[in-house]
């Protein structure tokens, strides 16, 4: 009996210490995947995310004088592991978790029904459930900047630029090589719509997780004799696809990768086979922007970096991770404008995300002007309408392959609303702004 009482007291004391460690701070949950076949992308992204938070604490003392606190939880890119991390972290901190960024479409789908109950927002920047861009139906989810369908319209526009105009798409054969998962299948509807509109032939080629063995897939792609290949890979799949494309005698210049097949981890391993490969990006190349110089000054020079300095210049996923940190902090900062300088709750940060307006003036203050384009979030539009830029691998680095290309919202938005409305009917949800 005495043992049980002592044990209870110790457990309570440990819980108190853990809770107290985040008292008076904005709590940021970081659900990362540094292990498994997707760790090659997940690890540098997590490093960039954490380094940005460290920099803001060191340079600014946090947000509004309130320090940022965080805890990292390993998901191994598995939805069930993400749910475990979500449940473990959602109530930490004085006001609870501010916002989750799963960096995984499967994990996004897995947690959707929990968000409204827990009043915690989700940022799914460039991934996730596309129709969640309709904030009237999905008030807690934010596919910021560009969603999968919007990206697809920019991608076909880019191919049209290479061919000399949209009218030149007619009669082309485009192979869609995609990860056989919720992520990989997400663009099926919009690609089919574009094929019908522009008159190109489209054929899909799924690649089983994790994408290491693709020989049979690329034999079939070669038989199809495509004019272009759209690569929708992730992790080891992308680099393997580029290698197998060379063996199938498909030139890299005829391959266009999506956002998540656009990193040095995808292009360096294939060697010369990757030269000429192009891919979509939410960000501009380079590390000359003030945000990166501040990370060097306030984090690396202080000996407090999460990973090596070389990551910043050599791994695009690190820079994407920094952008994840930027969006988290900016959302918290926006929330404090309305709710005051105190630890922000998920519900308050949701308001902050929904009121983001990243003008040139604001991007300048954030140290990222030129790094990303302008965009504005509203209640109805949780994406923001950002354009897309394409980059080309020259053998040593990515270089610009296009200007910012606007997405085709005249095609995408009606599809988003139709899909969101169907979801709302199935779930018995309202379709109005709060």
Q: What is the mean pLDDT of residues 265-289?
A: 96
* C-alpha to C-alpha distances, 227 to 246, 250, 253, 280, nearest whole angstrom: 14, 9, 10, 18
At 431 the pLDDT is: 85
Tell me: the pLDDT tens digits for 213-256? Answer: 999 999 999 999 999 999 999 999 999 999 999 999 999 999 99
Query: Is the previous residue joined to 207 through a cis bond, with omega within 30 degrees of 0?
Result: no
- Classify residue 381 as left (phi > 0), alpha (psi -120 to 50) or beta: beta
What are the beta bridge partners of residue 400? Answer: 391
Does the pLDDT value for residue 286 go beyond 50?
A: yes
Structural tokens at position 287: 């590390």
Residues 171-209: pLDDT tens digits?
Answer: 999 999 999 998 999 999 999 999 999 999 999 999 999
Closest residue by Cα to residue 126 from 375, 418, 403, 427: 375
> Could you give the C-alpha distances from 16 to 13, 90, 91, 95, 214, in angstroms and in order?
5, 16, 13, 15, 51
CATH of 149-284+389-407, one of 3.40.50.720, 1.10.10.60, 3.40.190.10, 3.40.50.2300: 3.40.50.2300
CA 42 from chain center: how many Å? Answer: 11
User: Nearest CA to 407 among 380, 378, 369, 375?
Assistant: 375
Say yes or no to pLDDT of 338 above 70. yes
In our burial notation (b when 16+ CB lie closer than 10 A, e otherwise), range 214-244 reads beebbeebbeeebbbbbbbbbbbbbbbbbbb
Which pLDDT score, from 0 to 100, does residue 23 have?
Answer: 61
If one counts every other C-beta atom within 10 angstroms of the C-beta of residue 397, the result is 15
> 2-147+285-387+414-427: what fold?
Rossmann fold (3.40.50)
pTM of the model: 0.92
**pLDDT score for 432:** 82
**CB 29, CB 73: distance < 8 Å:** yes
Cα gap 81→79, rounded to integer Å: 5
Task: Report the greatest alpha carbon distance in the chain.
Answer: 82
Average pLDDT, the chain: 94
Question: Residue 420's closest CA among 147, 49, 194?
Answer: 147
User: How many other CB atoms are found less than 10 A from the CB of residue 355?
Assistant: 16
Structure tokens at 260: 């998540």
In angstroms, the CA 390 to CA 407 distance is 13
Q: Report residue 363 as tokens.
A: 């991007």
pLDDT digits (tens, 9 = 90+) for 290-308: 999 999 999 999 999 999 9
Q: Say what the pLDDT of residue 21 is.
A: 53
> In Å, how far are 133, 256, 278, 376 from 373, measured between CA atoms?
18, 21, 19, 10
Question: Residue 15 has what pLDDT?
Answer: 42
Quick one: tokens of 388?
Answer: 């897309």
Domain with CATH 3.40.50.2300 in the chain: 2-147+285-387+414-427, 149-284+389-407
Task: List pLDDT tens digits, range 32-47.
Answer: 999 998 999 999 999 9
């Amino acid at each position: 009996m005495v043992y049980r009482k002592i044990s209870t007291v110790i457990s309570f004391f440990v819980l108190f210490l853990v809770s107290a460690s985040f008292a008076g701070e904005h709590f940021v949950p970081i659900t990362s995947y540094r292990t498994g076949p997707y760790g090659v992308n997940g690890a540098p992204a997590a490093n960039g995310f954490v380094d940005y938070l460290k920099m803001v604490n060191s340079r600014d003392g946090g947000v509004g004088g309130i320090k940022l606190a965080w805890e990292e939880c390993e998901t191994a890119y598995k939805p069930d592991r993400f749910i475990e991390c979500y449940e473990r972290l959602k109530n930490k901190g004085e006001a609870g978790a501010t916002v989750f960024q799963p960096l995984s479409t499967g994990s996004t789908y897995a947690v959707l029904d929990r968000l409204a109950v827990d009043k915690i927002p989700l940022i799914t920047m460039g991934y996730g459930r596309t129709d969640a861009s309709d904030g009237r139906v999905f008030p807690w989810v934010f596919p910021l900047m560009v969603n999968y369908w919007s990206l697809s319209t920019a991608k076909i526009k880019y191919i049209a630029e290479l061919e000399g105009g949209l009218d030149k798409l007619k009669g082309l054969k485009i192979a869609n090589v995609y990860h056989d998962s919720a992520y990989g299948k997400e663009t099926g509807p919009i690609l089919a719509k574009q094929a019908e509109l522009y008159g190109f032939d489209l054929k899909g080629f799924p690649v089983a997780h994790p994408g290491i063995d693709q020989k049979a897939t690329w034999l079939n792609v070669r038989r199809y004799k495509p004019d272009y290949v759209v690569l929708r890979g992730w992790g080891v799949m992308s680099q393997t696809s580029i290698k197998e494309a060379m063996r199938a005698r498909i030139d890299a210049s005829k391959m266009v990768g999506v956002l998540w097949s656009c990193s040095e981890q995808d292009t360096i391993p294939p060697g010369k086979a990757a030269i000429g490969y192009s891919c979509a990006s939410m960000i501009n190349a380079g590390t000359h922007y003030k945000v990166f110089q501040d990370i060097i000054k306030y984090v690396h020079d202080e000996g407090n970096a999460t990973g090596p300095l070389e990551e910043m210049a050599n791994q695009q996923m690190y820079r994407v991770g920094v952008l994840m940190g930027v969006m988290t902090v900016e959302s918290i900062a926006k929330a404090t404008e309305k709710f005051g300088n105190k630890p922000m709750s998920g519900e308050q940060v949701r308001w902050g995300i929904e009121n983001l307006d990243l003008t040139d003036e604001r991007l300048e203050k954030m140290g990222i002007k030129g790094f990303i384009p302008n965009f504005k979030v509203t209640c109805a539009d949780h994406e923001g309408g950002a354009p897309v830029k394409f980059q080309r691998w020259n053998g040593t680095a990515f270089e610009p392959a296009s200007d910012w290309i606007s997405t085709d919202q005249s095609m995408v938005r009606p599809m988003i609303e139709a899909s969101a409305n169907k979801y709302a009917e199935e779930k018995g949800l309202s379709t109005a702004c709060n």
